[in-house]
Amino acid sequence: MLLTIATTHSPATDLGFLLHKNPDNVQSFDLPFGTARVFYPEAGAERCQVALLLEVDPIGLVRRDKGSRDNMPLEQYVNDRPYVASSFFSVAIAQVFRSALSGKCEARPELVDTAIPLEATIALLPCRESAGFLTGLFEPLGYEVEAVRHLADDKFREWGDSPYYTLTLRGVKRLSELLAHLYVLIPVLDNAKHYFIGPEEMEKLIRHGQGWLASHPLKEKIAHRYLRRRRSLAREALARLVDDADDQDEVEEKQSTAEEALEAGVVAESPSEPGRKITLNEQRLESVVDALKAIGARRVIDLGCGEGKLLKVLWKVSAIEKMVGVDVSYRALEIAHDRLNIDELHDRQKERIELIQGSLTYKDKRMEGFDAATCIEVIEHLDPFRLTSFERVVFQYARPMAVILTTPNVEYNAKFETLPAGKLRHNDHRFEWTRAEFRSWAEAVAARYGYSVEFRPVGEEDEVLGPPTQMGVFCR
Protein backbone atom coordinates (compact mmCIF):
# COMPACT_ATOMS: atom_id res chain seq x y z
CA MET A 1 0.00 0.00 0.00
CA LEU A 2 1.41 3.29 -1.05
CA LEU A 3 0.22 6.85 -0.57
CA THR A 4 2.13 9.81 -1.98
CA ILE A 5 1.34 13.45 -1.29
CA ALA A 6 2.98 16.23 -3.29
CA THR A 7 2.79 20.00 -3.09
CA THR A 8 4.01 22.88 -5.22
CA HIS A 9 3.46 25.38 -2.44
CA SER A 10 6.61 27.44 -2.13
CA PRO A 11 8.91 26.48 -0.48
CA ALA A 12 7.62 22.98 -1.12
CA THR A 13 9.92 21.42 1.47
CA ASP A 14 7.71 23.02 4.16
CA LEU A 15 5.71 19.82 3.68
CA GLY A 16 8.35 18.23 5.90
CA PHE A 17 7.47 20.65 8.71
CA LEU A 18 3.74 20.09 8.28
CA LEU A 19 4.21 16.33 8.51
CA HIS A 20 6.88 16.50 11.21
CA LYS A 21 9.04 14.29 8.98
CA ASN A 22 12.43 15.43 7.79
CA PRO A 23 12.76 15.10 3.99
CA ASP A 24 16.37 13.92 4.35
CA ASN A 25 15.54 10.73 6.25
CA VAL A 26 13.74 7.47 5.71
CA GLN A 27 11.78 6.64 8.85
CA SER A 28 10.16 3.38 9.93
CA PHE A 29 7.25 2.85 12.29
CA ASP A 30 6.19 -0.46 13.77
CA LEU A 31 2.45 -0.88 13.78
CA PRO A 32 0.40 -3.80 15.14
CA PHE A 33 -0.18 -5.15 11.61
CA GLY A 34 3.08 -4.34 9.85
CA THR A 35 5.60 -1.62 9.16
CA ALA A 36 5.09 1.90 7.82
CA ARG A 37 7.90 3.79 6.12
CA VAL A 38 7.99 7.48 5.31
CA PHE A 39 10.37 8.87 2.71
CA TYR A 40 10.53 11.64 0.13
CA PRO A 41 10.95 10.61 -3.52
CA GLU A 42 11.27 14.33 -4.32
CA ALA A 43 12.22 17.25 -2.06
CA GLY A 44 12.86 20.43 -4.04
CA ALA A 45 11.85 24.01 -3.25
CA GLU A 46 9.40 23.94 -6.20
CA ARG A 47 7.85 20.53 -5.61
CA CYS A 48 8.07 18.13 -2.73
CA GLN A 49 6.57 14.65 -2.49
CA VAL A 50 6.28 12.41 0.51
CA ALA A 51 5.51 8.69 0.38
CA LEU A 52 3.90 6.55 3.06
CA LEU A 53 4.54 2.90 2.33
CA LEU A 54 2.74 0.36 4.44
CA GLU A 55 3.85 -3.24 4.47
CA VAL A 56 1.24 -5.40 6.11
CA ASP A 57 2.39 -8.67 7.54
CA PRO A 58 -0.33 -11.16 6.44
CA ILE A 59 1.03 -14.01 8.54
CA GLY A 60 1.13 -11.85 11.64
CA LEU A 61 -2.41 -10.75 10.93
CA VAL A 62 -3.67 -14.31 10.72
CA ARG A 63 -1.97 -15.20 14.00
CA ARG A 64 -3.50 -12.16 15.68
CA ASP A 65 -6.89 -12.90 14.20
CA LYS A 66 -6.89 -16.56 15.23
CA GLY A 67 -10.11 -18.45 14.98
CA SER A 68 -12.18 -15.80 13.25
CA ARG A 69 -12.04 -17.29 9.77
CA ASP A 70 -11.88 -20.98 10.42
CA ASN A 71 -14.12 -21.84 7.53
CA MET A 72 -11.91 -20.16 4.92
CA PRO A 73 -8.46 -21.48 5.69
CA LEU A 74 -6.72 -20.39 2.50
CA GLU A 75 -8.14 -16.90 2.38
CA GLN A 76 -6.26 -16.22 5.58
CA TYR A 77 -3.02 -16.36 3.65
CA VAL A 78 -4.05 -15.50 0.09
CA ASN A 79 -5.82 -12.17 0.11
CA ASP A 80 -5.26 -8.64 -1.05
CA ARG A 81 -4.58 -7.16 2.40
CA PRO A 82 -0.86 -6.54 1.92
CA TYR A 83 -1.25 -4.61 -1.34
CA VAL A 84 -4.46 -2.70 -1.10
CA ALA A 85 -5.25 0.51 0.75
CA SER A 86 -7.59 -0.55 3.48
CA SER A 87 -8.57 0.48 6.96
CA PHE A 88 -5.02 -0.33 8.03
CA PHE A 89 -3.97 2.59 5.97
CA SER A 90 -6.16 4.93 7.97
CA VAL A 91 -4.66 3.63 11.17
CA ALA A 92 -1.20 4.22 9.70
CA ILE A 93 -2.10 7.80 8.70
CA ALA A 94 -3.41 8.48 12.19
CA GLN A 95 -0.31 7.09 13.86
CA VAL A 96 2.44 8.26 11.55
CA PHE A 97 0.97 11.67 10.65
CA ARG A 98 -0.79 12.27 13.95
CA SER A 99 0.06 15.97 14.40
CA ALA A 100 -0.53 16.80 10.75
CA LEU A 101 -3.94 15.12 10.85
CA SER A 102 -4.94 17.15 13.88
CA GLY A 103 -3.57 20.33 12.31
CA LYS A 104 -0.67 21.00 14.65
CA CYS A 105 2.67 22.41 13.57
CA GLU A 106 4.76 24.55 15.86
CA ALA A 107 7.42 25.24 13.25
CA ARG A 108 4.95 26.62 10.68
CA PRO A 109 1.74 27.54 12.56
CA GLU A 110 0.35 29.76 9.79
CA LEU A 111 0.82 27.04 7.18
CA VAL A 112 -1.47 24.67 9.05
CA ASP A 113 -4.42 26.96 8.28
CA THR A 114 -3.35 27.63 4.72
CA ALA A 115 -4.89 25.83 1.78
CA ILE A 116 -2.02 24.73 -0.46
CA PRO A 117 -1.97 22.88 -3.79
CA LEU A 118 -1.86 19.16 -3.01
CA GLU A 119 -1.76 16.06 -5.12
CA ALA A 120 -2.34 12.70 -3.46
CA THR A 121 -2.02 9.33 -5.18
CA ILE A 122 -3.08 6.03 -3.68
CA ALA A 123 -2.09 2.74 -5.21
CA LEU A 124 -4.07 0.51 -4.95
CA LEU A 125 -7.57 1.20 -3.84
CA PRO A 126 -10.34 -1.40 -4.05
CA CYS A 127 -13.67 -0.17 -5.35
CA ARG A 128 -16.36 -2.70 -6.12
CA GLU A 129 -18.62 0.00 -7.50
CA SER A 130 -17.89 1.95 -10.67
CA ALA A 131 -15.29 4.71 -10.82
CA GLY A 132 -18.28 7.04 -10.46
CA PHE A 133 -18.38 6.16 -6.76
CA LEU A 134 -14.81 7.37 -6.30
CA THR A 135 -15.69 10.63 -8.03
CA GLY A 136 -18.86 10.90 -5.96
CA LEU A 137 -16.83 10.60 -2.77
CA PHE A 138 -14.03 13.02 -3.55
CA GLU A 139 -15.37 15.59 -6.03
CA PRO A 140 -17.83 17.25 -3.63
CA LEU A 141 -14.85 17.91 -1.37
CA GLY A 142 -13.30 20.01 -4.10
CA TYR A 143 -10.82 17.58 -5.63
CA GLU A 144 -10.11 16.92 -9.24
CA VAL A 145 -10.32 13.13 -9.37
CA GLU A 146 -8.43 10.78 -11.65
CA ALA A 147 -9.17 7.07 -11.23
CA VAL A 148 -7.29 4.54 -13.35
CA ARG A 149 -8.72 1.05 -13.23
CA HIS A 150 -6.33 -1.88 -13.44
CA LEU A 151 -6.74 -5.07 -15.43
CA ALA A 152 -7.20 -8.29 -13.48
CA ASP A 153 -4.00 -9.53 -15.11
CA ASP A 154 -2.17 -7.67 -17.82
CA LYS A 155 -0.98 -10.94 -19.35
CA PHE A 156 -4.58 -12.13 -19.74
CA ARG A 157 -6.51 -9.13 -20.99
CA GLU A 158 -9.59 -11.27 -21.61
CA TRP A 159 -10.00 -11.62 -17.84
CA GLY A 160 -11.13 -8.03 -17.90
CA ASP A 161 -10.89 -5.34 -15.25
CA SER A 162 -10.01 -5.82 -11.64
CA PRO A 163 -11.81 -3.90 -8.88
CA TYR A 164 -8.56 -2.01 -8.15
CA TYR A 165 -7.83 1.59 -8.96
CA THR A 166 -4.99 4.02 -8.72
CA LEU A 167 -6.58 7.19 -7.46
CA THR A 168 -5.14 10.68 -7.84
CA LEU A 169 -6.69 13.69 -6.12
CA ARG A 170 -5.70 17.25 -6.87
CA GLY A 171 -6.95 20.24 -4.94
CA VAL A 172 -6.11 23.31 -2.95
CA LYS A 173 -6.58 22.17 0.62
CA ARG A 174 -5.15 22.33 4.06
CA LEU A 175 -2.98 19.25 4.58
CA SER A 176 -5.01 18.30 7.67
CA GLU A 177 -8.17 18.37 5.55
CA LEU A 178 -6.71 16.06 2.92
CA LEU A 179 -5.53 13.63 5.59
CA ALA A 180 -8.94 13.66 7.30
CA HIS A 181 -10.68 12.99 3.97
CA LEU A 182 -8.39 10.03 3.30
CA TYR A 183 -8.67 8.80 6.87
CA VAL A 184 -12.45 8.55 6.61
CA LEU A 185 -12.92 7.62 2.96
CA ILE A 186 -10.33 4.88 2.47
CA PRO A 187 -12.13 2.53 4.91
CA VAL A 188 -15.42 3.42 3.22
CA LEU A 189 -14.07 1.69 0.11
CA ASP A 190 -12.80 -1.29 2.03
CA ASN A 191 -15.40 -4.03 2.22
CA ALA A 192 -13.47 -6.43 4.37
CA LYS A 193 -14.51 -6.46 7.98
CA HIS A 194 -11.50 -7.08 10.09
CA TYR A 195 -11.92 -5.20 13.27
CA PHE A 196 -14.58 -4.54 15.77
CA ILE A 197 -16.59 -1.38 15.38
CA GLY A 198 -17.83 0.35 18.46
CA PRO A 199 -18.48 3.78 19.92
CA GLU A 200 -14.78 4.55 19.70
CA GLU A 201 -14.89 4.29 15.91
CA MET A 202 -17.88 6.57 15.90
CA GLU A 203 -15.94 9.17 17.89
CA LYS A 204 -13.16 8.97 15.31
CA LEU A 205 -15.60 9.49 12.48
CA ILE A 206 -17.04 12.52 14.26
CA ARG A 207 -13.61 13.96 14.95
CA HIS A 208 -12.27 13.56 11.43
CA GLY A 209 -15.56 14.24 9.65
CA GLN A 210 -15.83 17.65 11.36
CA GLY A 211 -16.40 20.50 8.94
CA TRP A 212 -17.09 18.46 5.80
CA LEU A 213 -19.03 15.25 6.32
CA ALA A 214 -22.29 16.88 7.40
CA SER A 215 -22.58 18.67 4.04
CA HIS A 216 -21.34 15.78 1.89
CA PRO A 217 -23.99 14.55 -0.57
CA LEU A 218 -23.09 10.91 0.25
CA LYS A 219 -22.90 11.46 4.01
CA GLU A 220 -25.31 8.63 4.90
CA LYS A 221 -23.49 6.11 2.77
CA ILE A 222 -20.12 7.22 4.12
CA ALA A 223 -21.15 6.98 7.78
CA HIS A 224 -22.93 3.71 7.20
CA ARG A 225 -19.94 2.10 5.51
CA TYR A 226 -17.31 3.61 7.78
CA LEU A 227 -19.15 2.15 10.76
CA ARG A 228 -19.48 -1.21 9.02
CA ARG A 229 -23.21 -0.94 8.61
CA ARG A 230 -23.90 -0.38 12.31
CA ARG A 231 -26.97 1.69 11.59
CA SER A 232 -27.50 3.17 15.04
CA LEU A 233 -23.91 4.38 15.31
CA ALA A 234 -24.06 5.90 11.83
CA ARG A 235 -27.24 7.73 12.70
CA GLU A 236 -25.84 9.09 15.92
CA ALA A 237 -22.56 10.20 14.27
CA LEU A 238 -24.40 12.11 11.56
CA ALA A 239 -26.79 13.72 13.99
CA ARG A 240 -23.87 15.04 16.03
CA LEU A 241 -21.95 16.21 12.98
CA VAL A 242 -24.94 18.03 11.57
CA ASP A 243 -25.48 19.78 14.92
CA ASP A 244 -21.88 20.97 14.92
CA ALA A 245 -22.10 22.12 11.32
CA ASP A 246 -25.26 24.07 12.09
CA ASP A 247 -23.51 25.78 15.00
CA GLN A 248 -20.58 26.77 12.77
CA ASP A 249 -22.82 28.02 9.98
CA GLU A 250 -24.81 29.95 12.52
CA VAL A 251 -21.68 31.75 13.70
CA GLU A 252 -20.78 32.69 10.12
CA GLU A 253 -24.31 33.64 9.22
CA LYS A 254 -24.58 35.83 12.33
CA GLN A 255 -21.47 37.73 11.30
CA SER A 256 -22.69 38.23 7.74
CA THR A 257 -26.06 39.34 9.04
CA ALA A 258 -24.33 41.81 11.35
CA GLU A 259 -22.54 43.33 8.35
CA GLU A 260 -25.77 43.45 6.39
CA ALA A 261 -27.58 45.06 9.30
CA LEU A 262 -24.86 47.66 9.57
CA GLU A 263 -25.05 48.47 5.90
CA ALA A 264 -28.85 48.27 5.82
CA GLY A 265 -29.00 51.85 7.04
CA VAL A 266 -27.24 53.00 3.86
CA VAL A 267 -30.23 53.22 1.55
CA ALA A 268 -30.38 55.32 -1.59
CA GLU A 269 -32.71 55.97 -4.45
CA SER A 270 -32.41 53.51 -7.31
CA PRO A 271 -30.89 55.24 -10.37
CA SER A 272 -32.89 53.03 -12.71
CA GLU A 273 -36.21 53.34 -10.86
CA PRO A 274 -36.52 56.81 -9.29
CA GLY A 275 -38.54 56.73 -6.09
CA ARG A 276 -37.53 53.17 -5.16
CA LYS A 277 -35.18 52.86 -2.19
CA ILE A 278 -32.42 50.29 -2.50
CA THR A 279 -29.90 48.90 0.01
CA LEU A 280 -26.15 49.25 -0.26
CA ASN A 281 -25.88 45.67 -1.41
CA GLU A 282 -28.38 46.31 -4.20
CA GLN A 283 -26.52 49.49 -5.15
CA ARG A 284 -23.30 47.52 -5.35
CA LEU A 285 -24.83 44.86 -7.54
CA GLU A 286 -26.39 47.50 -9.79
CA SER A 287 -23.07 49.30 -10.21
CA VAL A 288 -21.33 46.04 -11.07
CA VAL A 289 -23.96 45.05 -13.61
CA ASP A 290 -23.80 48.51 -15.20
CA ALA A 291 -20.03 48.23 -15.49
CA LEU A 292 -20.33 44.75 -17.05
CA LYS A 293 -22.86 46.05 -19.57
CA ALA A 294 -20.66 49.02 -20.45
CA ILE A 295 -17.76 46.66 -21.11
CA GLY A 296 -20.00 44.40 -23.21
CA ALA A 297 -18.98 41.32 -21.21
CA ARG A 298 -20.44 38.02 -22.36
CA ARG A 299 -18.39 35.55 -20.35
CA VAL A 300 -18.15 36.51 -16.68
CA ILE A 301 -16.44 34.84 -13.75
CA ASP A 302 -17.44 35.88 -10.23
CA LEU A 303 -14.47 35.39 -7.94
CA GLY A 304 -15.49 34.68 -4.34
CA CYS A 305 -19.13 34.38 -5.45
CA GLY A 306 -20.28 33.41 -1.95
CA GLU A 307 -23.95 32.51 -1.89
CA GLY A 308 -24.47 33.67 -5.47
CA LYS A 309 -26.07 37.11 -5.00
CA LEU A 310 -24.43 38.58 -8.08
CA LEU A 311 -24.95 35.46 -10.21
CA LYS A 312 -28.65 35.62 -9.42
CA VAL A 313 -28.77 39.14 -10.87
CA LEU A 314 -26.56 38.25 -13.85
CA TRP A 315 -28.87 35.36 -14.70
CA LYS A 316 -31.44 37.96 -15.80
CA VAL A 317 -28.98 39.81 -18.05
CA SER A 318 -29.45 38.21 -21.44
CA ALA A 319 -26.19 39.60 -22.89
CA ILE A 320 -24.29 37.31 -20.53
CA GLU A 321 -23.79 33.93 -22.19
CA LYS A 322 -21.73 32.19 -19.58
CA MET A 323 -21.24 32.82 -15.88
CA VAL A 324 -19.03 30.94 -13.49
CA GLY A 325 -18.88 31.38 -9.72
CA VAL A 326 -15.77 30.41 -7.77
CA ASP A 327 -15.55 30.17 -4.02
CA VAL A 328 -13.38 28.38 -1.55
CA SER A 329 -16.35 27.55 0.68
CA TYR A 330 -18.27 24.43 -0.28
CA ARG A 331 -21.09 25.44 2.04
CA ALA A 332 -21.47 28.83 0.30
CA LEU A 333 -21.53 27.09 -3.08
CA GLU A 334 -24.26 24.75 -1.89
CA ILE A 335 -26.38 27.71 -0.85
CA ALA A 336 -25.66 29.36 -4.21
CA HIS A 337 -26.66 26.14 -5.98
CA ASP A 338 -30.03 26.16 -4.19
CA ARG A 339 -30.61 29.88 -4.60
CA LEU A 340 -30.03 29.68 -8.31
CA ASN A 341 -32.33 26.64 -8.55
CA ILE A 342 -29.71 24.88 -10.61
CA ASP A 343 -31.40 21.50 -10.21
CA GLU A 344 -34.54 22.84 -11.86
CA LEU A 345 -32.79 24.19 -14.96
CA HIS A 346 -32.96 22.30 -18.23
CA ASP A 347 -29.75 21.14 -19.88
CA ARG A 348 -29.23 24.17 -22.13
CA GLN A 349 -29.69 26.55 -19.19
CA LYS A 350 -27.35 24.48 -17.05
CA GLU A 351 -24.57 25.09 -19.54
CA ARG A 352 -24.89 28.81 -18.94
CA ILE A 353 -23.89 28.63 -15.29
CA GLU A 354 -21.23 26.78 -13.36
CA LEU A 355 -20.13 26.83 -9.73
CA ILE A 356 -16.63 25.69 -8.92
CA GLN A 357 -14.74 25.30 -5.68
CA GLY A 358 -11.32 26.88 -5.83
CA SER A 359 -9.04 29.40 -4.23
CA LEU A 360 -8.19 32.82 -5.61
CA THR A 361 -4.65 32.54 -4.36
CA TYR A 362 -3.68 29.59 -6.59
CA LYS A 363 -3.31 29.62 -10.34
CA ASP A 364 -6.27 27.80 -11.86
CA LYS A 365 -6.84 27.09 -15.55
CA ARG A 366 -10.60 27.13 -15.01
CA MET A 367 -10.38 30.89 -14.38
CA GLU A 368 -8.93 31.62 -17.83
CA GLY A 369 -10.79 32.82 -20.94
CA PHE A 370 -13.30 35.31 -19.51
CA ASP A 371 -14.24 38.80 -20.73
CA ALA A 372 -14.67 40.02 -17.19
CA ALA A 373 -14.00 38.91 -13.64
CA THR A 374 -15.92 40.37 -10.72
CA CYS A 375 -14.60 40.29 -7.20
CA ILE A 376 -17.21 41.74 -4.89
CA GLU A 377 -16.34 42.33 -1.23
CA VAL A 378 -13.73 39.57 -1.26
CA ILE A 379 -10.19 40.97 -1.05
CA GLU A 380 -10.73 42.22 2.50
CA HIS A 381 -11.20 38.53 3.46
CA LEU A 382 -7.68 37.66 2.27
CA ASP A 383 -4.66 37.84 4.53
CA PRO A 384 -2.52 40.77 3.34
CA PHE A 385 0.43 38.44 2.65
CA ARG A 386 -1.76 36.50 0.18
CA LEU A 387 -2.66 39.57 -1.88
CA THR A 388 0.39 39.19 -4.11
CA SER A 389 -0.68 35.65 -5.02
CA PHE A 390 -4.22 36.88 -5.63
CA GLU A 391 -2.93 39.60 -7.96
CA ARG A 392 -0.90 37.13 -10.00
CA VAL A 393 -3.71 34.58 -10.19
CA VAL A 394 -6.21 37.17 -11.41
CA PHE A 395 -4.21 39.71 -13.40
CA GLN A 396 -1.33 37.62 -14.70
CA TYR A 397 -2.78 34.13 -15.22
CA ALA A 398 -6.59 34.36 -15.50
CA ARG A 399 -6.11 37.70 -17.28
CA PRO A 400 -9.69 38.67 -18.21
CA MET A 401 -10.25 41.76 -20.38
CA ALA A 402 -11.72 43.52 -17.35
CA VAL A 403 -11.76 43.12 -13.58
CA ILE A 404 -14.42 44.79 -11.47
CA LEU A 405 -13.53 44.82 -7.81
CA THR A 406 -15.29 46.28 -4.77
CA THR A 407 -14.20 46.66 -1.17
CA PRO A 408 -15.38 48.70 1.84
CA ASN A 409 -14.15 52.27 2.30
CA VAL A 410 -12.99 52.25 5.92
CA GLU A 411 -13.29 56.05 6.24
CA TYR A 412 -17.06 55.67 5.97
CA ASN A 413 -17.17 53.41 9.07
CA ALA A 414 -17.31 56.55 11.23
CA LYS A 415 -20.89 56.96 10.02
CA PHE A 416 -22.01 53.60 11.43
CA GLU A 417 -23.15 54.62 14.89
CA THR A 418 -23.28 51.06 16.22
CA LEU A 419 -19.78 50.18 15.04
CA PRO A 420 -17.16 50.89 17.72
CA ALA A 421 -14.30 53.07 16.45
CA GLY A 422 -11.50 51.02 14.89
CA LYS A 423 -13.64 47.91 14.48
CA LEU A 424 -14.12 46.47 10.99
CA ARG A 425 -17.51 45.72 9.43
CA HIS A 426 -17.16 41.92 9.60
CA ASN A 427 -15.17 39.69 11.96
CA ASP A 428 -13.57 37.88 9.04
CA HIS A 429 -12.28 41.07 7.40
CA ARG A 430 -8.48 41.09 7.51
CA PHE A 431 -8.30 44.77 6.60
CA GLU A 432 -10.42 47.62 5.26
CA TRP A 433 -8.84 50.35 3.19
CA THR A 434 -9.16 54.12 2.96
CA ARG A 435 -9.75 55.52 -0.52
CA ALA A 436 -6.08 56.44 -0.79
CA GLU A 437 -4.94 52.94 0.22
CA PHE A 438 -7.24 51.26 -2.28
CA ARG A 439 -6.19 53.68 -5.00
CA SER A 440 -2.49 53.13 -4.46
CA TRP A 441 -2.86 49.31 -4.38
CA ALA A 442 -5.06 49.26 -7.48
CA GLU A 443 -2.85 51.65 -9.46
CA ALA A 444 0.24 49.61 -8.68
CA VAL A 445 -1.47 46.37 -9.71
CA ALA A 446 -2.80 47.93 -12.93
CA ALA A 447 0.63 49.24 -13.84
CA ARG A 448 2.33 45.93 -13.04
CA TYR A 449 0.02 43.83 -15.21
CA GLY A 450 -0.78 46.24 -18.07
CA TYR A 451 -4.28 47.32 -17.10
CA SER A 452 -5.81 50.78 -16.73
CA VAL A 453 -7.97 51.43 -13.68
CA GLU A 454 -10.85 53.77 -12.99
CA PHE A 455 -12.45 54.35 -9.59
CA ARG A 456 -16.17 54.70 -8.96
CA PRO A 457 -18.00 55.37 -5.72
CA VAL A 458 -20.83 53.01 -4.77
CA GLY A 459 -23.62 54.29 -2.53
CA GLU A 460 -24.28 57.85 -1.49
CA GLU A 461 -21.05 59.76 -0.95
CA ASP A 462 -20.33 61.65 2.23
CA GLU A 463 -18.61 64.95 1.47
CA VAL A 464 -15.73 64.23 3.79
CA LEU A 465 -15.70 60.46 4.25
CA GLY A 466 -16.53 59.40 0.70
CA PRO A 467 -18.80 56.52 -0.36
CA PRO A 468 -19.54 53.41 1.75
CA THR A 469 -18.12 51.09 -0.91
CA GLN A 470 -15.33 51.70 -3.39
CA MET A 471 -15.11 50.09 -6.81
CA GLY A 472 -12.19 49.76 -9.18
CA VAL A 473 -12.74 48.92 -12.86
CA PHE A 474 -9.60 47.51 -14.48
CA CYS A 475 -9.37 47.13 -18.26
CA ARG A 476 -6.65 46.00 -20.59
Q: Out of 13, 287, 361, 469, name the contact with ligand SAH by CB under 6 A.
A: 361
Q: Which stretch binds ligand SAH (CB under 6 A): 105-113, 205-213, 372-380, 392-400?
A: 372-380
Q: Out of 181, 309, 399, 425, name the contact with ligand SAH by CB under 6 A.
A: 309
Q: Out of 363, 381, 430, 439, name the contact with ligand SAH by CB under 6 A.
A: 381
To the nearest whole angstrom, how small is the minimum distance from the Cβ of residue 152 to ligand SAH?
Answer: 43
Q: Which stretch binds ligand SAH (CB under 6 A): 21-29, 197-205, 225-233, 376-384?
A: 376-384
Are 445 and 420 in contact by the 8 Å Cβ rule? The answer is: no
Q: Which is nearer to ligand SAH, 80 or 364 (CB)?
A: 364
Task: Provide the residue count of the chain.
Answer: 476
Integer Cα distance of 16 and 24 in angstroms: 9
Are 300 and 330 in contact by the 8 Å Cβ rule? The answer is: no
Kindly report the CA angle at 267 between 266 and 268, in degrees rounded to 5?
Answer: 125
Integer Cα distance of 57 and 54 in angstroms: 10
- Bridge partners of 2, per DSSP, are 53, 123
When asked if residue 377 is in the footprint of ligand SAH (CB under 6 A), the reply is yes
Alpha-carbon Rg for the chain, nearest whole angstrom, is 26
Segment holding 38, helix H or strand E: strand 34-43
To the nearest whole angstrom, how small is the minimum distance from the Cβ of residue 306 to ligand SAH?
Answer: 3
Q: Which is nearer to ligand SAH, 16 or 459 (CB)?
A: 459
- Bridge partners of 4, per DSSP, are 51, 121
Q: Which is nearer to ligand SAH, 357 or 413 (CB)?
A: 357
Integer Cα distance of 469 and 461 in angstroms: 9
Q: Which is nearer to ligand SAH, 58 or 408 (CB)?
A: 408
Q: Which stretch binds ligand SAH (CB under 6 A): 214-222, 341-349, 356-364, 391-399?
A: 356-364
- Which ranges of 70-130 does DSSP label H, i.e. alpha helix? 87-96, 98-101, 109-112
Q: Which is nearer to ligand SAH, 16 or 304 (CB)?
A: 304
Q: Which is nearer to ligand SAH, 81 or 309 (CB)?
A: 309
To the nearest whole angstrom, how small is the minimum distance from the Cβ of residue 283 to ligand SAH?
Answer: 12
β-strand pairing of 372-376 with 402-408: parallel
Give how many residues touch ligand SAH by CB under 6 A: 16
Q: Which stretch binds ligand SAH (CB under 6 A): 92-100, 263-271, 375-383, 430-438?
A: 375-383
To the nearest whole angstrom, how small is the minimum distance from the Cβ of residue 150 to ligand SAH?
Answer: 36
Q: Which is nearer to ligand SAH, 405 or 442 (CB)?
A: 405
Q: What is the footprint of ligand SAH within residues 315-334 (CB under 6 A)?
A: 327-329, 332
Q: Which is nearer to ligand SAH, 146 or 282 (CB)?
A: 282
Burial class (CB in 10 A: 0-12, 13-18, 19+), 471: buried
When asked if residue 376 is in the footprint of ligand SAH (CB under 6 A), the reply is yes
When asked if residue 403 is in the footprint of ligand SAH (CB under 6 A), the reply is no
- The set of residues, in sequence order, having a beta carbon less than 8 Å from that of 119 and lying 6+ positions away, is 5, 6, 7, 168, 169, 170
- Bridge partners of 230, per DSSP, are none
When asked if residue 169 is in the footprint of ligand SAH (CB under 6 A), the reply is no
Q: Out of 116, 189, 223, 305, name the contact with ligand SAH by CB under 6 A.
A: 305
Burial class (CB in 10 A: 0-12, 13-18, 19+), 474: buried
Q: Strand, coil or helix: what is 355? A: strand
Q: Which is nearer to ligand SAH, 252 or 437 (CB)?
A: 252
To the nearest whole angstrom, how small is the minimum distance from the Cβ of residue 344 to ligand SAH?
Answer: 22
When asked if residue 379 is in the footprint of ligand SAH (CB under 6 A), the reply is no
Are 373 and 402 in contact by the 8 Å Cβ rule? The answer is: yes
When asked if residue 304 is in the footprint of ligand SAH (CB under 6 A), the reply is yes
Is the bond preceding 58 in cis, omega lying within 30 degrees of 0?
no
Burial class (CB in 10 A: 0-12, 13-18, 19+), 70: exposed
Q: Which is nearer to ligand SAH, 4 or 359 (CB)?
A: 359
Q: Which is nearer to ligand SAH, 114 or 176 (CB)?
A: 114
Q: Strand, coil or helix: what is 283? A: helix
- Closest-approach residue to ligand SAH (CB): 306
To the nearest whole angstrom, how small is the minimum distance from the Cβ of residue 367 to ligand SAH?
Answer: 10
In 10 A of CB 461, how many CB atoms? 13
Burial class (CB in 10 A: 0-12, 13-18, 19+), 69: middle
Alpha carbons within 13 A on the beta-carbon side of 173: 29
When asked if residue 259 is in the footprint of ligand SAH (CB under 6 A), the reply is no
When asked if residue 306 is in the footprint of ligand SAH (CB under 6 A), the reply is yes
β-strand pairing of 34-43 with 27-31: antiparallel
Handedness of CA 61, 62, 64, 70 (dihedral sign): positive
Q: Which is nearer to ligand SAH, 178 or 332 (CB)?
A: 332
To the nearest whole angstrom, how small is the minimum distance from the Cβ of residue 105 to ligand SAH?
Answer: 20
When asked if residue 382 is in the footprint of ligand SAH (CB under 6 A), the reply is yes
When asked if residue 394 is in the footprint of ligand SAH (CB under 6 A), the reply is no
Applying CB under 6 A, the residues found at the interface with ligand SAH are 304-306, 309, 327-329, 332, 359-361, 376-378, 381-382
